[in-house]
Amino acid sequence: MNKKIQLQDIGRKDYKETWEYQETLFKEILDIKIKNRREDAGLSTPNHFLFVEHPHVYTLGKSGDISNLLLSEEQLKEKEATFYKINRGGDITYHGPGQIVGYPILDLDNFFTDIHKYLRFLEEMVILTLAEYDINATRSEGETGVWIDVGTPFARKICAMGVRASRWVTMHGFALNINANLGYFDHIIPCGIKDKTVTSLHVELGVDHVDIDEVKAKLLKHFTTLFEAEFIQQKAEI
């Protein structure tokens, strides 16, 4: 089992371009797995992890409801935002500057073949990271992602998640609000949940700006422990 993960931090990048790159990496892994199955080739499958920050964009998962987007096409242009219907799970979400978006493209045969466990580990990575900032974040039963003050009238989501998997290969991932402009969430019903709000780490800490690179390092540290993985830094290829 190959537990090494090729890490690329690709900076700010258009959503569609990044999605297409994910699809390329995803297909490469699937092709190797199919070859192994058909020819007993015994080839090792690679794993990838992308960090990216997107310009303003709204994405709707395959089970999502378009009515949860509250902007017309013209209003999207006014907000300098784009919209895509995509092939991950979940409903609608927003990505934009000030977010850490992570896309693990893993062959779970290298780790464990359990999507539920995979999502819980991603949540745990974020929960442990936020604990280092004295933020008590938790899960909300029946709702994927990471939340603060669950079970109170002040419950708010700080990290959204949505993944796709085929033959135990994953893509898409998580979006953690660090210095996000929360006003952009006012134009959707986030994840289709009407009675809860969203938040960002800088708001929770009462500061103007949080060091995103510091948060990324903490996320990777906890990911490494949870998945018993090793990261190999690569130069961004897109």
Q: Does 145 carry a binding-site annotation? A: no
Q: Does 95 carry a binding-site annotation? A: yes
* Residue 218 parent element (H or E): helix 212-227
Q: Does 160 carry a binding-site annotation? A: yes
Q: Does 151 carry a binding-site annotation? A: no
Q: Does 92 carry a binding-site annotation? A: yes
Rounded CA separation 196/191 (Å): 10
Q: Which of 130, 106, 129 is nearest to 118 (CA)?
A: 106
Q: Which of 114, 237, 231, 222 is nearest to 176 (CA)?
A: 222
Q: Does 138 carry a binding-site annotation? A: no
CB atoms within 10 A of CB 52: 26
Q: Does 174 carry a binding-site annotation? A: yes
* Residue 49 parent element (H or E): strand 48-53
Token couple for 207: 């500061």
Q: Does 173 carry a binding-site annotation? A: yes
Rounded CA separation 70/72 (Å): 7
Concerning whether 191 is annotated as a catalytic residue, the answer is yes
Q: Does 165 carry a binding-site annotation? A: no
Rounded CA separation 175/158 (Å): 8
Q: Does 88 carry a binding-site annotation? A: yes
Q: Which of 191, 201, 219, 220 is catalytic?
A: 191
Q: What beta strand segments (E) does 28-72 contain?
A: 48-53, 57-60
Annotated binding-site positions: 88-95, 160-162, 173-175
Q: What positions carry a catalytic annotation?
A: 191
Annotated binding-site positions for substrate: 88-95, 160-162, 173-175
